[in-house]
Amino acid sequence: MNKEIHTADLGRIDYQEAWDYQEKLLQENVRIKLARGKGTGEEDTTNYLLFCEHPPVYTLGKSGHIENLLISEQQMQEQGIHFFPTNRGGDITYHGPGQVVAYPILDLENFFTDIGKYLRFLEDVVIRTLAEYGITGSRSPGETGVWLDPEDKTRARKICAMGVRCSRWVTMHGLALNVNTDLRYFNNIIPCGITDKKVASLNEELGREIPVAEVKAKMQQHFADVFGGTIIVK
């Protein structure tokens, strides 16, 4: 099993461009696996961990509800916000500057074949990262992602959203951690279709701006530790 994880920071990149790149990497891994299955190839699949930020964009999961988008197409155009229906799981969320987006393209057969476990591992990566800032990240029963004070209905707030796709055990899409994110953009949606909880960001919790590169570096190390992989920096 190949547990090398090739990491790259794509910087600020349009959502569609990042999506196309992920799809390209996923399909190449699927091609390798199909050839191996037919006995016509011996090439190993490659695991990737991509970091990026996006210009303001709302994305809707394949099982999401468009009514959770609360503004019109014209209003989005006026505010410079894009919108994409996607093939990931989950409902609607926001991506934008100051947010750390991580897209793992992993061949889970190199690690384990359990999507539930995969999501829990992603949550662990974020929980460990938050702990380095003195913040206790938690799970909310029945709700994917990482939360602050989920047991308190008056204070519960989501700091990291997740939504993934998996094809032949190769993953794409991933997670979005609010670092210095302008949370006002979430007022235009019902985030993740959840009406009774708020959203949070690292800088709002700590009262200071957090270096995004620093958060990415911490997350990268915790990703390697949680998944038992070796980081290869591209």
- CA 35/CA 43 separation, integer angstroms: 9
Active site residue 52: no
**Catalytic residue (choose from 52, 160, 166, 192):** 192
In degrees rounded to 5, what are phi and psi of residue 71?
-125, 160
Active site residues: 192
